[in-house]
Amino acid sequence: RKPELPDSDSDGRTQTCQVTITMPLAQVIDVASPTAFDATVSEAVRTAQSTGASVVVLITSDSPNGAPWCPDCRRSDPVIESAVAAHGDDIVLVRSECKRNEYAGNPSFAYRKHNQLRLTAIPTLYKWSSKGPTNKLVEGQCANKELVELLLNEG
C-alpha cells in the first residue's frame, strides 16, 4: 500500500517519512543441534496444527565461511527459501544445519540413524505430517523449483 503522506503544513513545507513494509514470511524454525531435533519438530507440528499450516523439514549444511560447504545445499538453499516464502503462513520450515566435521564420512551421524529421517544424503527436504515424513526430495532434486513446489503442494 502506498504510505499516506502527511498534508503539507501551513507554511508550505512538506514532510516525508520512511515506511518499511514487511511481507509475511513463512515461519522458519532453526534446530539448534541434532539432539534438539525431535523436540523442535514436535513443537513445529503443534504450532502448524493450530494454524492449519504444513510442515517441511530441511536437513542442509551449515555455512562456516559464509557459504554452505555442501555444493548441492548451496544450490538448493535459495530455491527452497523462496519457494517456502511464497507460501507465507501456509508453511512452517524446520531447518537443521549439519556441521561438516560431524556429518562427512560419519555413518553413525545422528540423522542417519534417526528412525524417521533415515538421512541418506544432504540436502534432504521432507514433507512432514503429524505422524512423520510422507515424501522427500534429495540432493539435486532440492534445487529443482518445480519439484520443490510439487512437494510443498502435494507431498
Partner 1 sequence: TILARRVLRASARPLKGSRMLSWLTGQGDGKVDATMGDAKAVVTSGPGIGEHTYDYDLIVIGGGSGGLSCAKNAAMLGAKVAVCDFVQPSPAGTKWGLGGTCVNVGCIPKKLMHQASLLGEGMSDARSYGWEVPEVTHKWETMVENVQNHIKSINFGYRSELMTEGVKYLNAYAVFSDPHTIDCTDKKGKVTTVTAARFVIAVGGRPRYPEIPGGKELTISSDDLFSLTSPPGTTLCIGASYISLECAGFIQGLGMKAHVMMRSIPLRGFDQQMASQVKNYMQEHGVNFIEQAVPTAVEEAEGGQKKVTWKYADGTVGEGLFDTVLVAIGRDAETTKIGLDKAGVATNPKTGKIPANGEQTNVEHIYAIGDVLDGRPELTPVAIQAGKILAKRLFGGSTKAMDYEGVPTTVFTPLEYGCVGLSEEDAIAAMGEKNVEVYHSYFKPLEWTVPHRGDNACYAKLVVDKRANERVIGLHVCGPNAGEITQGFAVAMKLGATKEVFDDTVGIHPTSAEEFTILKVTKSSGVSAEKAGC
Which residues of the chain form contacts with partner 1 (CB under 8 A)? 134-135, 137, 141, 144, 146-147, 150-151, 154-155
Kindly state the smallest distance separating residue 137's Cβ from partner 1, in Å. Answer: 7
Q: 98 or 151, CB closer to partner 1?
A: 151
The DSSP string of 86-148 is: HTGGGEEEEEEEEPHHHHTT-TT-HHHH-TTT---SSSEEEEEETTEEEEEEEGGGGG-HHHH
Q: 27 or 76, CB closer to partner 1?
A: 76
Phi, psi dihedral angles at 38 (to 5 degrees) = -55, -45
Kindly state the smallest distance separating residue 147's Cβ from partner 1, in Å. Answer: 5
Q: 122 or 148, CB closer to partner 1?
A: 148
H or E segment and range at residue 38: helix 37-51
Kindly state the smallest distance separating residue 28's Cβ from partner 1, in Å. Answer: 24
Kindly state the smallest distance separating residue 64's Cβ from partner 1, in Å. Answer: 31
State the residue for C-alpha cell 514532510: 15
Q: How far is CA 4 from CA 7, 15, 18, 102, 132, in A?
A: 9, 11, 11, 53, 47
Q: 91 or 98, CB closer to partner 1?
A: 91
